[in-house]
Structure 1
């Protein structure tokens, strides 16, 4: 085993300081993003009473919004979700549900609940679509602004494109069928369009986790932390990355990702760039990158903005199997989009996108699981054969996991001071425990899954969206029906 001892000693000696610097720099940059976001929240809260949302809600000239909801096997949540969207406080919005060839009774539930009748309108054909439309339906009651499209299964992106083709309002929102929007969400996320109509082309809103919270009438009546530890850790991840990270990138005018679970776009821009890419597994990331390139290639005075206050509540994976599929898909999508737009990296033409945002995503998002797993293997193997200095190993642990935990705690403090969503002390205690637990196996597992997704992308394996098991919203009628024998629903492309 002398050769192994010598090998690990040499490898560790070469990698220990670069690895320490890598993790130190990555965590420090995330801390800077959190501090930048905290400054944004301070300004936002100071003028929160003067945002003018009441005036927008009553204004007949507010831009209309088409809410597009792609749905595949969403029987457990579809009625609660659609009702919450129809009840949103906004002067002019329609809801377009696109049933993507569901194998369960998603469409039948909608047909019965909203008394749907066939609508024989023509499809404009403004964006390319693949799935054949089997029928278009509307509510018999003319006052319900609901359109339901029943089509053959062709994937989420193609379903959104069909909804986009039928949309009649100036702004378009894409919302997952397992999501619940807060009552004023459309007012908040559309406000940048009202404030700066000539420049804003897209906005993104916050996505947070609803698991275990009570939902009645399409509204969250009691917010609770999820029961499962893996879902609690995802709450922490969403706060750190989806709320604080994207808020900071938006302030830097370098936002390259809006979650597909809650994003608003100018309809004419979406049509001009061709809608979503049905061949991309990271379709939301790819769309925003394409829009950012469209802005800069055309030297347009336009921007993409993130809005921290509107919230879309979504059901997160609660099992290891489903979470693993999700993280493989996310990282594969990250790789494919970064590679597709590699010409923007360090390109002066793209300003902060090319010199700040994209290098960060390449180094500290794409390569992060590789750096973490290589470090773990070398340290563990080296300690096992006595080839690694324990002091140096502790140093790596401190700058990677210890410092990372402190950065995450800073994110939780900023979020709690700004929005204070969780009222119960037990929920706050659960969040703090999740911050610590994230480094005790969870991060290592997600690093493995992310590497698997990256490898699948590099080797060009068949793209699979995966399945998402739905348990329904706690306290809703659909959840009660499901528990009575209808089971769970899944989504797949």
Structure 2
């Protein structure tokens, strides 16, 4: 607990200082120049889609209206069993084209390639099912531009998101080779035709707790880690990468459920071994809205998968742990993810079991146990409330005072019910891993756009 509290406290201070520094700038003026093609870099937007018929048309529509000078959209239909392919063909008048693709990364076979007859920068690739990582590799092989963005098929981008996420890459003269943006929860928001009309909170307590969790993960965790180039995760929902460096690293790994984190770790490792000074950063301002689970069963599948993916990434690159050759990544970032993110939930789960057994069999100092429990509740709630305050202070995405109060109230209850529940799910992920279970677990979506 001391290790966790200390680390989160340091991260919180770094995040506050970084946000204060960034938001003293004139945000609009800072991005005006990047609307000129002379200063910007073209981007290929790759959208892997598997059974996304509910939201794929609206997601593509939101992408077509982004404020960015030069981009292409590549929707990769990964052998969907629903009407994802038909909806794209019908809505955007897709016509089959013949095109030779340079295979830089191995993938499953491609069946058909389409191009929209009304939008020349919109492509659709129909391929055999091979998973999200394989779909991204297909898009990588097909893409025409030096930078690409991986984007989930149910996501909706804010209009200026690409201007903001590309800014550190352009400003750094290619020292920054990957940049990730914030992911926010669309459940409860009013979204029409791929555009966020009104931001609000869902009535579901499960969704509200995930909003708080996402705020803490992005506005606290990733800002703090990014400040010193310690970032090991760029969300698969929204991130931009240099195509050259991803291909050099071998593309996305298809035999893991955590392909986004594994790729970032592999790129970090590669540039460190080559003695290069490259950065992977997080930018809090560009926002991508996505749907999250509204039922416990789907949340359970998601968290089990995330924890398995975390272990696979850490284990595959375990030689980085406490290895000075890899600088701060090896000495700070990797140990943090092992101790706090992977083993933390396991230790916490056994702590719960131990406390319950001690209540029945004796051997527990009740007053001290209550004190530890209150301390646990306090530190968890303080960090969650701090994340809510950072959101209100910086991005101000939730305009209603009632929404902020509601987030504050729910953050006080996190340690009592939501955290133990997710700890249990993550421990189940460890059990699945020990059994050799590699199942993905499908997430059924209702669709966030009207």
Normalised-by-shorter TM-score class: over 0.9
2:110 matched to 1:133?
A: yes
Aligned runs of 1:374-385 on 2, under 5 Å?
374-385=350-361
User: Quick one: distance in 1 between partners of 2:433 and 2:93?
Assistant: 44
- 2:158 corresponds in structure 1 to 182
User: Quick one: distance in 1 between partners of 2:383 and 2:413?
Assistant: 14
Aligned runs of 1:151-162 on 2, under 5 Å?
151-162=127-138
- 2:211 corresponds in structure 1 to 235
- 1:463 corresponds in structure 2 to 438
Of 31, 48, 54, which aligns to 1:53? 31
Q: Normalising by structure 1, what TM-score?
A: 0.89
SS of the counterpart of 1:421?
coil
Of 342, 349, 356, which aligns to 1:373? 349
SS of the counterpart of 2:220?
helix
Query: Are residues 297 and 378 of structure 1, via their aligned partners in 2, closer, same or farther at CA, if it must alter by over 3 Å?
Result: same
- 2:427 corresponds in structure 1 to 451
2:231 matched to 1:255?
A: yes
Alpha-carbon deviation of 1:51?
5.5
Deviations 1:404-427 (A, max 9, x none): 211221222122111211112231
2:310 matched to 1:334?
A: yes
2:382 matched to 1:410?
A: no
2:1 matched to 1:26?
A: no
Alpha-carbon deviation of 1:50?
6.8
Deviations 1:253-296 (A, max 9, x none): 11111111111001111111111000111100100000000110
- 1:6 corresponds in structure 2 to none
User: Quick one: distance in 1 between partners of 2:19 and 2:4?
Assistant: 23
- 1:19 corresponds in structure 2 to none
**Which is greater in Rg?**
1
2:97 matched to 1:119?
A: yes
- 1:472 corresponds in structure 2 to 447
2:418 matched to 1:442?
A: yes
Q: Normalising by structure 2, what TM-score?
A: 0.97
- 1:5 corresponds in structure 2 to none
SS of the counterpart of 2:23?
helix
User: Quick one: distance in 1 between partners of 2:391 and 2:27?
Assistant: 19
Alpha-carbon deviation of 1:70?
0.2
- 1:219 corresponds in structure 2 to 195
Aligned runs of 1:303-382 on 2, under 5 Å?
303-382=279-358
Deviations 1:372-411 (A, max 9, x none): 1111111122123332111121122133222221122122
Q: Name segments (4+ residues, structure 1) moved above 3 Å.
A: 48-52
- 1:164 corresponds in structure 2 to 140
Deviations 1:427-480 (A, max 9, x none): 122212221232222111111110111122234x13122111111125x1xxxx
- 1:271 corresponds in structure 2 to 247
Higher mean C-alpha displacement, 170-179 vs 423-432:
423-432
- The CA RMSD over aligned residues, in Å, is 1.3
User: Quick one: distance in 2 between partners of 1:119 and 1:398?
Assistant: 63
Of 2, 15, 18, which aligns to 1:40? 18
1:75–1:106 CA contact under 8 A, matched in 2: yes
Of 90, 101, 108, which aligns to 2:86? 108
Higher mean C-alpha displacement, 111-120 vs 385-394:
385-394
User: Quick one: distance in 1 between partners of 2:401 and 2:39?
Assistant: 44
SS of the counterpart of 1:465?
coil
User: Quick one: distance in 2 between partners of 1:99 and 1:441?
Assistant: 38
User: Quick one: distance in 2 between partners of 1:428 and 1:134?
Assistant: 49
Larger relative contact order, structure 1 or 2 (CA cutoff 8 Å, min sep 6): 1
SS of the counterpart of 2:229?
coil
SS of the counterpart of 2:67?
coil
Query: Are residues 52 and 413 of structure 1, via their aligned partners in 2, closer, same or farther at CA, if it must alter by over 3 Å?
Result: closer
Query: Are residues 50 and 146 of structure 1, via their aligned partners in 2, closer, same or farther at CA, if it must alter by over 3 Å?
Result: closer
Q: Structure 1: give runs of 5+ residues left out of the alignment.
A: 1-22, 477-493
Deviations 1:47-95 (A, max 9, x none): 2347631211133452100000000111110111001011110000000
Higher mean C-alpha displacement, 113-122 vs 432-441:
432-441
